[in-house]
Amino acid sequence: MQKIVLASNNAGKLKEFQALLAPLNFQVITQGELGIPSAEEPHLTFVENALAKARHASSASGLPALADDSGICAHALDGKPGVFSARFAGEPANDGANNQKLVSDLNGQADRGAHYVCALVFVNSANDPEPLIVQTRWHGQIITEPKGSNGFGYDPHFYIPELNLTAAELDPAQKNLISHRGQALRELIVQLKSRA
């Protein structure tokens, strides 16, 4: 199995990536398991932050690295919280507080549309001149009352009209088929296979 370091310590993301990459013989380990601190995320775009995180993890580990930067963009809020999704309600990061702030900020807004974004970057080395970069969207709506207990982040408030379910009501396998991260990883896998 080929080891890849995941530039994240998010248990939810690790679980999703392990499930999606295991069939391809990749062993995903988190940067935290290797004692690598998190990278700075000073950029205003998902792609730039993901690239910075991937290069940082690869440099510190000497392994190929995979990083994603993802979040939710509410249409009525000009794309907020965007790259600040994990800490929308401030430090320390807290899913419940973030959801509460998003629902509160959308109070009275007619447009409840939102989309998850996932920018996924894979580098073979810290100085890889050809990083593989994928960015995808998953469209839905923000609902006021949370539903479901699966997933993480904004999933209990992210409603998918065509399924009549929130992301938190989907079982993990179903979510991996349609989510922003699942879409991005499948596109990345196509690129990895064509590069080999």
Catalytic (active-site) positions: 69
Angle at the Cα of 171 from the Cα atoms of 85 and 187, rounded to 5 degrees: 65
| 196 CB-near residues (< 8 Å, 6+ apart) | none
CA distance 196 to 184: 18
Cβ neighbours around 126 below 10 Å, total? 16
